[in-house]
Amino acid sequence: MRAMTVRVRFAPSPTGFLHIGSVRTALFNWLYARHTGGTFILRIEDTDVARNTPESLRTILDGLRWLGLEWDEGPEKGGPHGPYFQSQRAAIYRRYVEQLQRSGHAYEREGALWFRMPREPITVPDLVAGPVTRQPTDREAADPDFVIVRRDGQPVFHLVNVVDDIEMRITHVIRGEDHLSNTPKHLALFRALGVTPPAYAHIPMILNADGSKMSKSDPDPSKARLASLATYIADGFVPEAVRNYLCLLGWSPKDDRQIMTIEEVIERFDLPQILRANARFDVTKLTWMNGEYLRAMSLERFAELAQPFLPKPVPLSVLALVKEKIKLLKDLPEWVGWAVTEEIEFDPVAVEKVGRGPALAAKLEALASQFATTTEWSAVALEDALKRLATQRGVKPAEFIHPCRLAVSGRAIGPSLYPMLEALGRERVLTRLARAAKVLGQ
């Protein structure tokens, strides 16, 4: 007996930004396809003409590719079961609608076409939640039937979703738990059409940190931002980190691993391990993970990813200094500012911390004359020079280190001091020491 080849699909609606929860759904589908050697299909559910936009479609395609979730069949790719836009499949839906009418499963009412829902409860054999049997709600008790073709002739979600899953030979439907309540309708449709339904796996939702629903239209703008994948791209998260973090939301490798290569995840991922409980999105942990990925990657890749975040080119030697420190690429400008701007702005908080006035000026001037005579301009030699000066004055090196950092970078935090000085070069360091002594010396 040969197992049926797995065919899964991600079926977004191009009506806005790509939701981070949708991304996780796409990821789980993709992982399952890769784990089983199956096929990952992208299908665009654009039956609601009024709400679809081309930009939104672009966002979906780019977003999936950014994460490395390439589809095997779908837009810009083709495949044997196209077209992959529901707006182009009207003839197919019509065929199925006619079949339902002929077999007496559908009838017209108020200009729309309604599906005759079975009166007895339907059990969903869900791979994650187990068998789920729904009792009829108040509404359903009054009238369990539902619309499958609108008055304007457009077929609705429940119908097209099922028809396409049939036509595209979908074997497993992995989707958000918000669809669990819809599933009996879909099962009834399959039954009426005389087709064996796919297996269902409803995955838990991703919620905000406060447990509320992640919504792109949340009245709180900071929450609304977090719901969109675009935010993470813009803030300088790297795809591997976002993907890794998402893998750990609702799925667990069952050991203590946090950072995993995608190959490892593909190897271990399977439906039975998916958790039943909703998970909250912890952007802080994602940020930590992003820093881990940034530090672990090659300098070349770091430079490549950094490029869009830098107003002007920055030498690799400088990027190397901040690569180990930074967590988000969007913070790059302020971390490398010392290397690309001569007009250093002094951070008030840093000035407060280090101090100002004649005492500071004296230290900076001493430093300047010390560095002016340093023969070899290297991190090691500079460290040696600074420490000699401190010893001469009978103070701790820190007494000179902090003012020096402030003078050359304007900040209290940043890369290690001596490599920073080395990268800057003698001339710029001396200029900055003099300027800082003047500006902060009063």
> Contact between 95 and RNA (CB under 7 A)?
no
Nearer to RNA by C-beta: 153 or 425?
A: 153
Nearer to RNA by C-beta: 67 or 205?
A: 205
The CB-of-270 to RNA minimum distance in angstroms stands at 12
The CB-of-112 to RNA minimum distance in angstroms stands at 4
Instruction: Determine the Cα–Cα distance for residues 393 and 86; give it in Å rounded to an integer.
Output: 78
Strands in 146-149's sheet, in edge-to-edge order, are: 106-109, 112-115, 146-149
Q: Which string of b and e fits 50-81 if b means at least 16 CB within 10 Å? A: eebeeebbebbbebbebbebebbbbbeeebeb
- Rounded to the nearest 10°, the torsion over CA 107, 109, 112, 118 is -50
- Using CB under 7 A, which of the segments 66-74, 262-270, 340-348, 410-418 binds RNA? 410-418
Nearer to RNA by C-beta: 16 or 38?
A: 16
Give the one residue of 60, 64, 156, 367 binding RNA; rule: CB under 7 A: 156
Element (H, E) at 115: strand 112-115
Q: Are 211 and 189 in contact (CB under 8 A)?
A: no
Nearer to RNA by C-beta: 34 or 402?
A: 402
Task: State the catalytic residue, choosing from 185, 216, 323, 363.
Answer: 216
Show contacts with RNA in window 284-323 (CB under 7 A). 284-285, 288, 291-292, 295
Q: Are 172 and 30 in contact (CB under 8 A)?
A: no
* 303 C-beta neighbours (distance < 10 Å), count: 18
Show contacts with RNA in window 348-387 (CB under 7 A). 383
- Using CB under 7 A, which of the segments 33-41, 340-348, 357-365, 391-399 binds RNA? 391-399
List the structure tokens of 228.
């969109």
> Contact between 130 and RNA (CB under 7 A)?
yes
At 109, is the secondary structure helix, strand, or coil?
strand
The CB-of-262 to RNA minimum distance in angstroms stands at 17
> Contact between 129 and RNA (CB under 7 A)?
yes
Give the one residue of 35, 77, 116, 179 binding RNA; rule: CB under 7 A: 179
Q: Say how far residue 10 (Cα) sits from the centre of its chain.
A: 16
Q: Are 421 and 408 in contact (CB under 8 A)?
A: yes
> Contact between 151 and RNA (CB under 7 A)?
yes
Give the one residue of 180, 238, 241, 436 binding RNA; rule: CB under 7 A: 180
The CB-of-93 to RNA minimum distance in angstroms stands at 11
DSSP annotation of 74: B
> Contact between 147 and RNA (CB under 7 A)?
yes
Q: For residue 353, indicate whether it is catalytic.
A: no
The CB-of-413 to RNA minimum distance in angstroms stands at 4
Name residue 113's beta-bridge partners: 108, 149
Nearer to RNA by C-beta: 108 or 438?
A: 108
Nearer to RNA by C-beta: 33 or 44?
A: 44
The CB-of-148 to RNA minimum distance in angstroms stands at 9
Instruction: Determine the Cα–Cα distance for residues 268 and 249; give it in Å rounded to an integer.
Output: 15
> Contact between 87 and RNA (CB under 7 A)?
no
Q: Are 198 and 173 in contact (CB under 8 A)?
A: yes
> Contact between 282 and RNA (CB under 7 A)?
yes
Element (H, E) at 65: helix 54-66
List active site positions.
216
